[in-house]
Structure formats: C-alpha cells, structure tokens
Amino acid sequence: MSVVLNSRESILTTFNHFREELDDFHDTRERLIKSSRDVTNLSKKVIFLIHRTLTETLGQSDEKETSLRAVSRAKGKLKEIQNLFAGMSEEIAGDRFWRYQKNVSPGLQEYIEALSFAYYLQCQTMISYEEVQKSLSDADGNPYFPLPLDDYLLGLSDLTGELMRYAISSISRRGGRSEANEVCKFVRGCRADFEALTPYFRELRKKQQVTSQSLEKIEDVAYAITVRSSEYDLPPELLDDIVERTVLEAGFGSGGDGRDRTREGGRRGGDNNRENGDYD
Amino acid sequence: MDAQNLDHINQLLDKDVELREKIKDQVTEFDKKTRTLTGLLNRIHSTPSSQVPELIATVTPVLESCKESTAALAALTPPNQFWRWKDMWSVSLRNAVFAAALVEFLRSGGLLSLPRAAETLGIKDEWRDRFALSAEDYLHALISMVNELSRLAVNSVTMGDFEQPLKISTFVKDLFAGFAMLNLKNDTLRRRYDSLKYDIKKIEEVVYDVSLRKLAPSQSNKM
C-alpha cells in the first residue's frame, strides 16, 4: 500500500478499501442512531411512568411515599436503558466514541433527563456528573464511554421542564403546595447554575430560555396559590381538602397550566362557593 | 447543584477550554504553512514543465515543516480523542495532503497513497487515537487535486505543453473510476464528488481541442 499508485488497477484496489471502510462507518453509525432512538423512547416512557405514578395515587398516600414509589418503578426501566448502553459500548470503545458521539448524544441526553428526574424525587438534589457516569459503567466501575460534559448539562436542562409539570400537578395534591414551592426554589437554582455555563455551550443557551419559561410558569402558580390561600384563614390541611375536592369535582387530571385550572375551577361556581361559606 | 459538582464541572470545562486554545494556536501555525504551500503550487500554472522540478524543490521543505505541526497536534490531543478535535485541523490537513498529492503527480504522474501521504506529513501509526489521516480527509484532498488539475490542463496548453492534458486526463479518469466505487452518503464528500464531472468535462474539452488539431503526440492512446 505504501507506494505511489500508477495503474488504474492499483487505484481501484485502494478505493475498494475505502469503500469497505466508509461502508463500515456508515453501518455502525446507522446502528448507533437506532440504539440512540431506542434509548430516547425508553427514556420518555420512564418520564411518563414517573408522572403517572405521581398522579395516580392522588390523595391516597403521603407525598414522600408517592415519590419513592415512582422512583422504584423508574429504576427498573432505567436499568433497561443502561443495558442498552452496555450493548453499545463495544462499538464505541476507545477512540471510536468521539467519532459517533453526535449520533449517541440525543438518546444520552434523554436518558440523563429521566435519570435526573428519578434522582430528584429520591434525593431532592441534582444528580452529579460523577453519578451519571457511574450509572453508565459496568459492575467493576469501568465506564461504557466517557460522559461528555455538554450531554450531561443539556440533559439536566431538560429536567426543568419535567419539574415544571410535576410542580403544577402537585398543586392539587395533599401537601403538594409546599412541594411545588420546593421545586420552584430548585429550578431557580438550576437556572442560576446553568447561566454561568451558557457561554461555553451554544445549545445550553437555547435550552436556558425554555428553563426560564418553565420557571415562570411555576412561579405564577406559586403566586396564585399564595394569593388565593390568603383569602381564607385556614390551616393548610383544610385548604388541601378544598382544593382536592374542587379538582376532583371539576374532573381535572394532571398537567396543563395551573392558572387555567384555578380559573376554570372557580367558574364552576356553586359548590365551590358553598364550601367556602362553610369554613368562613 | 452542590458546590462539589459545580467545581468538578468547572474543572472539566477549564481543561477543555485550555486545550481548545492550544490546539487552535497550532492549527493557525499549520494553516500558515499550508497557505504557503498552496501559494507556491499555484505557480504550476505558469511554470513550463522543464522548470517544474525546481518548483517542487521549493515546495518540499515547506511540506517537510508540516511534520512539526502534525507532531504538535498529536502531542496535544488526549488519548482516544482524535475524533473529538479533528474538525479543528481537518481543513489544514486536507490542504497539506492536497499539496503532497499534487507534488507526487507532478513528479511521477502517479497517485500518492494514503499511507504514503501520512508518511510525508510525518503522521505516525502509533498516534492513531490522537492524530491520523482519515480516509475522508484524504479523499477530500484528492478532489481538490482534481480541481487543480483541470486548471492545469488548460494552462499547460497555453504554455505550449500539449502532452500534460493527456496525462491529466488518464489520471483523473482513473481517480474518478475509484470514486465511483464508493457508496457516498449525502455529505460534503458526495457533493464534491458530484462536481468532479465538470472538471472531467473541462479536461476532456482540452484533450479534444489538442487532438483535433493534432497537437498532441499520437502515441497517447489511453484516452
């Protein structure tokens, strides 16, 4: 090979090698894109599972217990995703990881979002870089691949959107208002932490806007709760009862914008007012 | 985020930022050399074939100096991170390979193989995971060379060299046959490959003009 190619045959032979090499690269790339897509799908399912678990036990048990139930369900699914990564690890071993990093990264970010959501519910803190890396390592602690800093941060940035949904659906749950306030504080902290890092990551800048919007939604709901609860001089538990009954009667599930819900709940009129009267 | 994690993130970040700066400095140096190379090689369009060896002699030391750049970049890149940083220098590297391949054609009329191109630029096999000449970069360089050769076909006729277009024509057709064997995806390589046919057309027109007027030596029957 290490010569000057003077004939058409020798040129064609060399290009034959290139074809094999390029085909090999494209095939691997396709496979990894598929795996990454599988990871994305499973991760989305984990996130839905968590939301579902948090809302289906509405009012039946205390907040902490519900969270932990969601976490333990999520963990089984997260394990499946980790196994997918383990399966990919061979194709992205050594120097190959950075060749395919762009193809792996969408799934990886979605996984980090799901993982950090479960982690938050369990520990009320942000999962650290090292812990994410540890979750992507084999039993002996050897990483499947090095965790890129930008994927870690971008995954976490998406978490704020899930927390917003969680906070807003918490409002209608027993003890959920203090929970919503906690989430609000946490997301505010996230936003501040990410802000310092935005100069280094272009994509983080875009996501930071979404984080700001999510934060604002949570803040608006927290505001509405404060204003409304100040109208009644009630202990929080009684207020829980009112909110819960109103929500149940109005037939609202989870999600959506908190402001709409309170407004529509109010419009339903009669029952609501009578209850208010009872307690006043 | 807790302070420890933020510290950790910032440390990783600082390391990357610093490395990026260092690589950028080396790439700037590398780029200067490849620009000198392209500048020198631009003279082929006005250099009669008899004086080409002298022109090549001026190019060789610059090509040799590229070895320092590749060595410096290989030293900077952390193990296994070749593909992470290679985009930063791939333009310069392609230009250097282009120069090396063009020089080889002018010297011997043959195609500089990938391993030979890597060798010319001092790229060592043991750097594989830190600095290498990828097939993609090599192929890009070859397309640049074809672009240049189509100009040379025209200009060599102007300089009274009627044989050169025929040599170029055979060589470029062989190369094109090689490229045609690849399954290219919709990327820049594919687009540049698609543009090769215009170069070939241009070369063919020159060959046609030259043969029609019986300016070319008749033994070249390879076309």
pTM beyond 0.90: the answer is no
Residues of B in contact with A143 (CB under 8 A): none
Within a 10 A sphere around the Cβ of A84, how many other Cβ atoms? 17
Which band of pLDDT confidence, cut at 50, 70 and 90, is reported for residue A67?
confident
Q: Which residues of A231-254 are buried (b: 16+ CB within 10 A; e: fewer)?
A: eeeeeeeebbebbbebbeebebeb
Burial A107-123 (b: 16+ CB within 10 A, else e): bbbbbbbbbbbbbbbbe
- Classify the C-alpha dihedral B96-B101-B106-B108 as positive or negative: positive
A116: nearest CA in chain B?
B1
| Residue in chain B lying closest to A191 (CA) | B1
* Chain A hits for B16, Cβ within 8 Å: 149
- Computed over its alpha carbons, how large is the radius of gyration of chain A? 25
B12: Cα separation from own chain's centroid: 35
**Whole-number pLDDT of residue A277:** 38
**How far, CA to CA in Å, does A162 sit from each of A41, A154, A165?**
16, 14, 5
By Cβ distance, the residue of B1, B2, B115 closest to A2 is B115
CB-CB under 8 Å, A19 with B115: no
Of the CA atoms within 13 Å of residue A201, those in its CB half-sphere come to 25
Looking at per-residue confidence, does B63 or A56 come out higher?
B63
Residue B112, H or E segment: strand B111-112
Residue with tokens 């989305």: A44
Structural domain spans, chain A: 26-147, 148-280
pLDDT in the model for residue B89: 96
Question: B3-212: what CATH class?
Answer: mainly alpha
Q: Do A11 and B8 touch (CB under 8 A)?
A: no
The string of DSSP codes covering B64-106 is HHHHHHHHHHHHHSPTT-HHHHGGGTHHHHHHHHHHHHHHHHH
Question: Which residues from B are below 8 Å from A23, CB to CB?
Answer: 183
pLDDT in tens, chain B (223 residues): 788 888 999 999 999 999 999 999 999 999 999 999 999 999 999 999 899 999 999 999 999 999 999 999 999 999 999 999 999 999 999 999 999 999 999 999 999 999 999 999 999 999 999 999 999 999 999 999 999 999 999 999 999 999 999 999 999 999 999 999 999 988 899 999 999 999 999 999 999 999 888 877 755 444 4
C-alpha to C-alpha distance for B87 and B89, rounded to whole angstroms: 6
Residues of A in contact with B175 (CB under 8 A): 11
Which residues in chain A touch residue B83, judged by CB atoms under 8 angstroms apart?
95-99, 101
Q: Do A1 and B2 touch (CB under 8 A)?
A: no
Roughly how many angstroms between the first and final C-alpha of chain A, as a whole number? 92
Taking the CB of residue A49, how many other CB atoms lie within 10 A of it?
A: 17
Tokens standing for residue B63: 């090509």
Q: Which residue has the tokens 């369900």?
A: A73
Quick check: A190 contacting B, CB < 8 Å? yes
SS3 category, A89: coil
Position A266 confidence tier, pLDDT thresholds 50, 70, 90? very low
Q: Give the 3-state secondary structure of residue A4.
A: strand
Confidence at residue B218, expressed as pLDDT on a 0 to 100 scale: 59
Instruction: Look at residue A261 in the predicted model and tell me its pLDDT.
Output: 40
Residue A145 contacts residue A108 (beta carbons within 8 Å) = no
Residues 6 or more apart whose CB falls under 8 angstroms from that of B9 comprise A129, A149, A152, A153, A197, B1
pLDDT at A126 over 50: yes
Question: Residue B188: CB partners within 8 Å, gap ≥ 6?
Answer: B140
Query: What is the pLDDT, as a whole number, of residue B220?
Result: 46
Among A138-147, A160-169, A266-275, B206-215, name the one with the lowest average pLDDT. Answer: A266-275
Q: What is the CATH number of domain A26-147?
A: 1.20.58.190
Residue listed under structure tokens 């994509």: A203
Q: Which of A8, A98, A193 sits opposite B6 (nearest CB)?
A: A193
In this structure, of A149-153, A274-278, B50-54, B142-146, the range with the lowest mean pLDDT score is A274-278
In this predicted structure, which of A196-200, A263-267, B168-172 has the lowest mean pLDDT? A263-267
Cβ contact B8–A130 (<8 Å): yes
Are A145 and A97 within 8 A, CB to CB? yes
Per-residue pLDDT, A66: 81
Residues composing chain B: 223
Q: What is the C-alpha separation between A46 and A230, in angstroms, rounded?
A: 37
Helix axes B135-158, B90-108, angle to 10 degrees: 50
What is the mean pLDDT of the segment spanning A153-172? Answer: 88
- In this predicted structure, which of A120-134, A152-166, A217-231 has the lowest mean pLDDT? A217-231
pLDDT tens, residue by residue, A18-34? 999 999 999 999 999 99
As a whole-number percent, the residues of chain A with pLDDT over 90 amount to 50
Q: Which of A57-61, A123-127, B182-186 shows the lowest mean pLDDT across its residues?
A: A57-61
Contact B95, B66 (CB under 8 A): no
Pairing of strands B111-112, A4-5: antiparallel
